[in-house]
Amino acid sequence: MYDKEFYEKYAKSSLKFFYEEQYKNFTLSECPDIQNDIDNIGIEVTRGISEYSGKFSRLSQECLENNLPLEQRFTRANRMFRKNFLGVIHENNAFVIADPQNGEDYYELHIKQIFEKIKIKIDKLEKLYKKFEWNCLYVFAEYPLKSHQIWVLADLMCAENLIQYDIYFINALDRLYVINAKDNFNFTKHKYTAKELCLFTSEAQS
């Protein structure tokens, strides 16, 4: 199950480097998820994956965390996907999740999923969310995207003039891309150390 609080805490923790002194003024809230009334900043947190991809992510996490025996993994997969699960077993009896939606255009598909999720969140920003001077969207990509893939995403955002959010944070596991809508969707990259990643996880679980 999607742990909303975990993702919000993780996002908040990972933004320390970006906001520095302002960071102490951030609190977890709702609509948007992270708010800073003193510095007039609001950050909504979401995952940039489809419901279908989210199931695969959850299945992988459950199998790993619970160390399920092989038969139980297939039982859980078939129950989750109503017997539409596509899985294979390697010669070493490794359990492999094979997503039929993924192929050579895997990253292109994922960028489109992030893009569609951004548009959904823009609609909610305009209709439901509290507005700030700086409205930001933090998206968990769930996959290790490279700079050239972020360029594709930024170009899509620029083409549709998605300026409703001022800053878009794209979390790609060990790095955070910061896309600035006020600067023609140019982006910067911050790569995290293993120590920082462990800290974020620890704080998110507390």
**Residue-number span of the structural domain to which 60 is assigned:** 51-97
Overall number of domains in the chain: 2
Q: What type of residue sits at position 76? A: R
Cis peptide before 144 (omega within 30 of 0): no
- Domain limit, last residue, from 97, 116, 132: 97
pTM above 0.85, yes or no: no
Q: Please report, for the domain that includes residue 152, its CATH number.
A: 3.40.1540
pLDDT in tens, 136-168: 999 999 788 899 999 999 999 999 999 999 999
Same domain, 65 and 43: no
DSSP string across 138-194:
EEE--S---HHHHHHHHHHHHHTT--SSSEEEEE-SSEEEEEEGGGTTEEEEEEPPH
pLDDT per residue over 35-60, tens digit each?
999 999 999 999 886 555 556 666 66
* Whether residues 157 and 200 fall in one domain: yes
Cα separation, 192 vs 194, whole angstroms: 7
136 and 71 housed in the same domain: no
Same domain, yes or no: 111 and 189: yes
The residue from 65, 97, 129 where one domain ends is 97
> Nearest-CA neighbor of 153 among 125, 179, 184, 123?
179
